[in-house]
Amino acid sequence: MITKTAISATKFELISGLEIHVQLNTASKIFSSESAAFGAKPNENISPVSLALPGALPKLNKEVVAKAIRMGLALNCTINQTNFFDRKNYFYADLPKGYQITQDNRPICQNGYIDLTLTDGTERRIGINRIHLEEDAGKSMHDQNDSYSYVDLNRAGVPLIEIVTEPDIRSAEEASALLSEMRKLVRHLDVSDGNMEEGSLRCDANISIREKGTTEFGTRCEVKNLNSIRNVRRAMDFEFNRQQELVSAGGTIIQSTLTFDADQGTTAPMRTKEMANDYRYFPDPDLPPVQISDEWLAQLKAAMPALPKEITAKLVADFGISNSEASIFAEDEVLLKYLNAALAEVKNPKSLINWLTGPIRALLNEQQLTISSFRLSPSQLAAVINLVEEKKITQQIALQQLLPAIQQAPGSDPLVLAAELNILIVENSDELSDFADQVLEKFKPQVIAYKSGKKGVLGLFVGEVMKLAKGKADPQKINRLLEEKLK
């Protein structure tokens, strides 16, 4: 039984690098024109190219190249403006050609890095060895029939980029932080939907150990097809402990490919690890080298959006909010656009941010909506917030009555609608004074308690006056009025 020994308590350290496979969200496949969409009926999106019929020739999808370059630029890579495709030869039932078209010696992107911030604030830089383009294989299904395995080739030829890190990862936390950042990036750059459940983002983890203080790498094992960030952590923790216990007992690590059992939380061997020469790579004779012109590369660079870390830093600097608040906008491009549109009309930007990260976020979760389906325009939300800031309506009434009314009447003017609903604050000092007197008369024991030092009961009085005013009063004004009367 493998024990969950803490990494820091051993004489070994973890050495890991990830191979992250990202399915690109192009409309068609990498070398043919049929749909690359997920969810079609088995073998619905196929063609002579994806079936590898004799004489069928691949033709490169230009959008695939553009998305790979975008990812390379985001990860500080060198873009190889001349790169080419290779054949990687191996046999699987769901690989009709008997080889995969990929990139070996000359990938599209090389020598980059990504900076991570861990939960304790530690900064870590993870090197990116390469990003290469390749096609996906089909899918073998072994649970459809007791006697036969079925093959679905819809996924064959779907475009992938594989992001290969340097062996710079030293903990499961770093690995999960890296995957989280990658998922944010691919979504932010509109490269992929990053859906790990559907296989749009999946990961292989190379894991080895070495004694602390040494520099040579140990024998690595590769855990294949990890489909969640949680499973990456679990697999890495288990494999680290397995290897250190094996070596401590005098055993030897055998380089191999492993599978991870998510139910048991354990790894198990699939096969001994192939070496690169087992794949017999050679340049694909059917595809010419990819030539990326200076002009096109310049266009792609100019079109790059600000990255999440840059957006976070700017929001923190501009509005004095926390990193966690800023990250909410940096990681959601649609929400960020909504914020920027509303900022043009709101009088207090910090209030807008507070509303979007607080009550509006809660409202969207409650109604199971996204900001893009929210039936309140940025201009309308700004108008509502301005009414609250100008003390023409209370925040509570705005949330409970005005926002639902606007959702039912898209395009309405919040001020006009508030007046029609009779929920605007009425500045009638005599009426408020009368309400205050009624409350203090009703709660005489609490008045005595207040005067003896129990100031907390003031909130009770304010709430009761608000009820009598039907919410159409300024709580701060009521608070001051009550304090005067209680003197």
Residue 482 has what pLDDT? Answer: 77
Q: Could you identify the residue written with the tokens 């094992």? A: 221
Question: Which pTM was predicted?
Answer: 0.79
- Which domains are seen in the chain, by residue range? 7-296 (no CATH), 308-420 (no CATH), 429-486 (1.10.10.410)
Residue 7 has what pLDDT? Answer: 41
pLDDT in tens, the chain (487 residues): 444 444 445 789 999 999 999 999 999 999 999 999 988 999 999 999 999 999 999 999 999 999 999 999 999 999 999 999 999 998 888 899 999 999 999 999 999 999 998 888 889 999 999 999 999 999 998 888 889 999 999 999 999 999 999 999 999 999 999 999 999 899 999 999 998 888 899 999 999 999 998 989 999 999 998 989 999 999 999 999 999 999 999 999 999 899 999 999 999 988 665 565 688 999 999 999 999 999 999 999 999 999 988 999 999 999 999 888 998 998 888 999 999 999 999 999 999 999 999 999 999 999 999 999 999 999 999 999 999 998 888 888 899 889 999 999 888 999 999 888 888 877 656 666 777 777 777 787 887 777 777 777 778 877 787 777 776 677 777 777 677 767 7
Distance from C-alpha of 33 to C-alpha of 49, rounded to nearest angstrom: 9
Angle between helical axes of 323-330 and 308-319 (0-180°, round to 10): 130
Distance from C-alpha of 461 to C-alpha of 380, rounded to nearest angstrom: 33
Distance from C-alpha of 364 to C-alpha of 444, rounded to nearest angstrom: 42
Where b means 16+ CB within 10 Å and e means fewer, 127-141 reads bbbbbbbbbbbbeee
Distance from C-alpha of 221 to C-alpha of 207, rounded to nearest angstrom: 5
H or E, element range at 321 = none
382: tokens are 């700004």
Contact 176, 165 (CB under 8 A): no
Contact 178, 121 (CB under 8 A): no
If one counts every other C-beta atom within 10 angstroms of the C-beta of residue 321, the result is: 20
Residue 440 has what pLDDT? Answer: 77
290: tokens are 């990819």
307: tokens are 């990255």
Render 398-467 in DSSP notation, one character per residue: IIIIIHHHHHHSTT--HHHHHHHTT-SPP--HHHHHHHHHHHHHHTHHHHHHHHTT-GGGHHHHHHHHHH
278: tokens are 């087992």
Residue 117 has what pLDDT? Answer: 86
Distance from C-alpha of 88 to C-alpha of 277, rounded to nearest angstrom: 10
Residues 6+ apart with CB under 8 A from 12: 209, 210, 211, 212, 240, 243, 244, 247
449: tokens are 């308690």
Q: Do β-strands 256-261 and 201-211 pair in parallel, antiparallel, or remain unpaired? A: unpaired
Residue 40 has what pLDDT? Answer: 92
Where b means 16+ CB within 10 Å and e means fewer, 445-478 reads ebbeebeeeeeebbeebbebbbebbebbbbbeeb
Residue 434 has what pLDDT? Answer: 73
Dihedral sign computed on CA atoms, order 361, 365, 367, 370: positive
Distance from C-alpha of 482 to C-alpha of 447, rounded to nearest angstrom: 11
Distance from C-alpha of 365 to C-alpha of 368, rounded to nearest angstrom: 5
Contact 209, 12 (CB under 8 A): yes
- Residue type for position 244: Q
Q: Where are the beta strands (DSSP E) in 212-322?
A: 221-226, 256-261, 266-272, 282-283, 290-291
Distance from C-alpha of 419 to C-alpha of 432, rounded to nearest angstrom: 20
For Cα atoms 274, 278, 284, give the angle at the middle one, nearest 5 degrees.
125
Residue 454 has what pLDDT? Answer: 77
Q: What are the CA-CA distances from residue 428 to residues 396, 422, 424, 473 (Å)?
A: 20, 14, 12, 9
For Cα atoms 411, 412, 413, give the angle at the middle one, nearest 5 degrees.
125
